[in-house]
């Protein structure tokens, strides 16, 4: 097979950081080449160079044997397309408009909508999408929108398709569909670069796997060498790769938190949480699963008090708290590990001391008659730095200079040091490397052992299945299924079953069929 793309000795530096160091990367026609590595390994940088977004500092790119230097516009002409993690789409425009945007066929001065729609329809048909090209992009679900992105790249004549973490937002079923599309593209001689963290998927779809670490290529696996454990080892560069599991499932105490007949509406008046009831017991990790955007964020926000509820009841131990302020709820014993470190989790421009006392600046521990006790605050923050092994802290410097793992540790330290009764952990390991993931898991399990009730919301099914004592699945604001701790202990529930619930199929229906 010929190399359709050959990147040779590519180096890219950002200031003193070398994001890509002398990288060689080849892509053959008709193959799926997976690019794996931890966050910050340089995968996306390398692909942005291939896509023409960055110019390499050193090295050459050959496309079909010819050396090329190009920007994004020319990359499209050369047949290189990229589907980004965050879709570049305009929700208020139609499918057809989004696809032809910037490349519309013209008839004189006007856009030739007729031929554009015809072409788009053909492509939609080919991918089994039974939607009109006039439908608004915003009305499609995430999986469909991703297909549209792929269709757009093909419409522009892509022979090489770069998919950046394409399965992060998909259900297992949608992922299967995506894989079928990828295989079909391969059979037409088109090549795909598949960037991912998820090794199982990589093993399933890739012909070759290149592993990157710290801006360098560790190893390139050929089809017959691909093995999950080997790849994982290459990724983190250590022998120890196993993620920590909850080994004490179902061992729980009295009920700590109750949500009863909860209703939450969005600002626009759409139902986000529909009549949900559940409870969490002491020492229990209740996992909340589901494809993102099915009411998880709204549910959490209503519990911590960022948004109001429209109906129902919230209770912590003996106290109803639905009408309490955020501060009162936190003082009652609700801790919150934010799903977004950068917005609700931390003040990035503030330093460690300021970040760990936020919300407690008025407590007698940290202030006297309205003025902060600098010494006590510094001591407290130093104690937490040690306890949670937070690296890279400088007293006066803003926390934005820290790595994601260390930022997350600050949040954990702040929330856990308040000794919460109910700890809400939303996407607690998102974007972290394996070492940091295990640290977070350890901390959560330690809290479980101490009798904290934990509400774990995650988009990562593996994480939910590894940690949860019990699990509920949200679909369009309702609970579409529950998995009991016995089922986890007996291992009688499969990822596929949960996947179906994530797609809205309720359990009883499946049992009937």
Partner 1 sequence: MREHAMKLMNRDVLMKPLNPLAAIATAFLAAGLVVWITGGEPIEAYIALIQGAFGSESGLMNTIRYTLPIVMLGFSFSICDRCGYFNIGQEGQMYAAALMIAGVQVWFSDLPAVAMLPLMILSAIAAGGIICLVPAILKFLFGVNEIIIAMLVNYIIVLLTNYLLMYSSIADTDKTSPMSITILPSISRPVLIILALMIITAYALCLRSSAPGYRLRMVGFNPHFAKASGIDTIKLILIVSFLGGAFSALSASGEILGEYHRIYTGFAANLGFYGMTAALIGSQSTLGLVLGALILGALQSGSVSLSVMTDVPSELVLVVQGFVMLFATISILQRWTRQSV
Residues 6+ apart with CB under 8 A from 94: 133, 134, 135, 136, 137
Q: Locate 323 and state its tokens.
A: 């009408």
Nearer to partner 1 by Cβ, of 67 and 327: the residue is: 327
Name residues contacting partner 1, limited to 378-407 (CB under 8 A): 392, 397-398, 400-403
- CA 32 to CA 342: how far, in whole Å? 34
Question: Closer to partner 1 at the Cβ: 248 or 325?
Answer: 325
Task: Decide whether 347 or 378 has the Cβ nearer to partner 1.
Answer: 347
CA distance 448 to 425: 12
Of 60-68, 85-93, 278-286, 368-376, the window that binds partner 1 (rule: CB under 8 A) is 368-376
Contact status: 189 vs partner 1 (CB under 8 A)? no
**Interface with partner 1 includes 65 (CB under 8 A)?**
no
- Phi, psi (5° rounding) for residue 329? -65, -40
Distance separating alpha carbons of residues 15 and 13, to the nearest angstrom: 6
Torsion-angle region of 157 (φ positive above 0: left; ψ -120 to 50: alpha; else: beta) = left
Query: Which of 68, 144, 216, 354 contacts partner 1 by CB under 8 A?
Result: 354
Which of 88, 90, 347, 378 binds partner 1 (CB under 8 A)? It is: 347
Closest CA to 461 of 168, 75, 100, 94: 168
362 binds partner 1 (CB under 8 A): yes
Binding mask 104-143 for partner 1 (x = CB under 8 A): ----------------------------------------
Q: How far is the CB of 16 from partner 1 (least distance, A)?
A: 5
8-state DSSP, 243:
P
Distance of CA 227 to the CA centre of its chain: 24
Which residue stretch of 30-38, 91-99, 205-213, 369-377 sits at the interface with partner 1 (rule: CB under 8 A)?
Answer: 369-377
Hey, what are 207's tokens?
């012909």
* CA separation for the pair 269, 413 (Å, rounded): 36
The contact mask relative to partner 1 for 290-309 (x = CB under 8 A, - = no) is --------------x-x---
Alpha-helical runs (H) found in 163-274: 172-187, 199-205, 228-236
Interface with partner 1 (CB under 8 A), residue from 268, 371, 375, 508? 371
Q: How far is the CB of 250 from partner 1 (least distance, A)?
A: 32
**What is the chain's Cα-based Rg?**
25
CB closer to partner 1, 374 vs 419: 374
364 touches partner 1 (CB under 8 A) = no
Kindly identify the residues of this chain, within the stretch 265-294, that bind partner 1 according to CB under 8 A: none
Instruction: Point out which span in 144-152, 163-171, 364-372, 489-497 binds partner 1 (CB under 8 A).
Output: 364-372
Strands 216-221 and 285-289: unpaired
C-alpha 282/C-alpha 455 separation (Å) is 11
* CA atoms of 455 and 422, how far apart (whole Å): 7
CA atoms within 13 A of residue 501's CA, in its CB half-sphere: 24
Question: Closest separation between CB of residue 17 and partner 1, Å?
Answer: 4
- The answer to whether 370 contacts partner 1 (rule: CB under 8 A) is yes
Residue number, 108 or 364, with CB nearest to partner 1? 364
Minimum CB distance to partner 1 smaller for 92 or for 374: 374
Residue 375 lies near partner 1 (rule: CB under 8 A)? no
Applying CB under 8 A, among 367, 382, 438, 466 the residue interacting with partner 1 is 367
| Angle CA 289–296–488, to nearest 5 | 20
CA distances from 422 to 36, 97, 174, 306 (A): 36, 47, 34, 16
Does the footprint of partner 1 cover residue 186 (CB under 8 A)?
Answer: no
Asked if 457 and 296 touch (Cβ cutoff 8 Å), the reply is yes
How wide is the angle at C-alpha 190 spanned by C-alphas 186 and 191, nearest 5°?
Answer: 80
Q: Of 58, 327, 442, 486, which one interacts with partner 1 (CB under 8 A)? A: 327
Residues that bind partner 1 (CB under 8 A): 14-17, 40, 304, 306, 325-327, 329-331, 336, 338, 343-350, 354, 357-359, 361-362, 367, 370-372, 374, 392, 397-398, 400-403
């Amino acid at each position: 097979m010929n190399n359709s793309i050959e990147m040779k000795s590519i180096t890219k530096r950002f200031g003193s950081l070398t994001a890509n160091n002398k990288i060689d990367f080849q892509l053959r026609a008709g193959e799926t080449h997976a690019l794996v590595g931890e966050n910050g390994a340089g995968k996306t940088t390398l692909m942005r160079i291939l896509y023409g977004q960055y110019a390499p500092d050193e090295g050459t790119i050959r496309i079909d044997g010819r050396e090329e230097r190009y920007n994004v516009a020319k990359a499209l002409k050369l047949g290189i397309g990229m589907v980004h993690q965050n879709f570049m789409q305009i929700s208020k425009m139609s499918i057809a408009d989004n696809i032809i945007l910037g490349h519309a066929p013209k008839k004189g001065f006007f856009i030739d909508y007729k031929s554009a729609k015809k072409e788009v329809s053909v492509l939609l048909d080919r991918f089994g999408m039974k939607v009109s090209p006039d439908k608004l992009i915003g009305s499609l679900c995430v999986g469909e929108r991703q297909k549209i992105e792929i269709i757009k790249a093909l419409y522009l004549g892509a022979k090489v398709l770069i998919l950046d973490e394409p399965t992060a937002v998909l259900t297992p079923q949608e992922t299967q569909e995506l894989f079928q599309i990828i295989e079909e593209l391969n059979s037409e001689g088109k090549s795909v670069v598949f960037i991912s963290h998820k090794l199982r998927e990589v093993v399933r779809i890739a012909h070759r796997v290149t592993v990157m670490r710290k801006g360098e290529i560790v190893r390139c696996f050929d089809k017959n060498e691909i093995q999950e454990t080997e790849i994982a080892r290459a990724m983190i560069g250590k022998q120890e790769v196993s993620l920590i599991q909850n080994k004490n499932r179902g061992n729980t105490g009295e009920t700590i938190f109750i949500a009863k007949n909860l209703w939450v509406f969005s600002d626009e008046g759409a139902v986000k949480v529909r009549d949900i009831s559940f409870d969490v017991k002491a020492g229990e990790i209740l996992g909340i699963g589901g494809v993102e955007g099915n009411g998880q964020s709204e549910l959490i926000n209503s519990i911590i008090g960022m948004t109001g509820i429209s109906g129902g009841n919230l209770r912590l131990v003996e106290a109803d708290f639905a009408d309490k302020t955020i501060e009162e709820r936190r003082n009652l014993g609700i801790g919150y590990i934010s799903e977004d470190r950068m917005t609700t989790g931390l003040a990035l421009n503030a330093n460690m001391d300021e970040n760990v006392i936020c919300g407690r600046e008025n407590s007698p521990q940290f202030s006297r008659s309205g003025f902060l006790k600098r010494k006590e605050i510094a001591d407290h923050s130093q104690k937490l730095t040690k306890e949670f092994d937070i690296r890279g802290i400088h007293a006066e410097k803003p926390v934005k200079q820290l790595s994601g793992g260390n930022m997350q540790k600050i949040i954990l330290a702040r929330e856990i040091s308040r000794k919460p009764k109910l700890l809400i952990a939303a996407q607690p390991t998102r974007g972290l490397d394996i070492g940091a993931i295990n640290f977070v898991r350890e901390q959560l399990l330690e809290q479980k052992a101490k009798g904290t009730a934990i509400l774990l919301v995650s988009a990562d099914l593996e994480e939910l299945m590894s940690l949860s004592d019990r699990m509920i699945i949200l679909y369009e604001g309702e609970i579409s299924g529950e998995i009991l701790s016995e089922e986890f202990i007996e291992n009688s529930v499969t990822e596929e079953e949960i996947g179906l619930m994530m797609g809205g199929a309720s359990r009883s229906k499946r049992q009937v069929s």
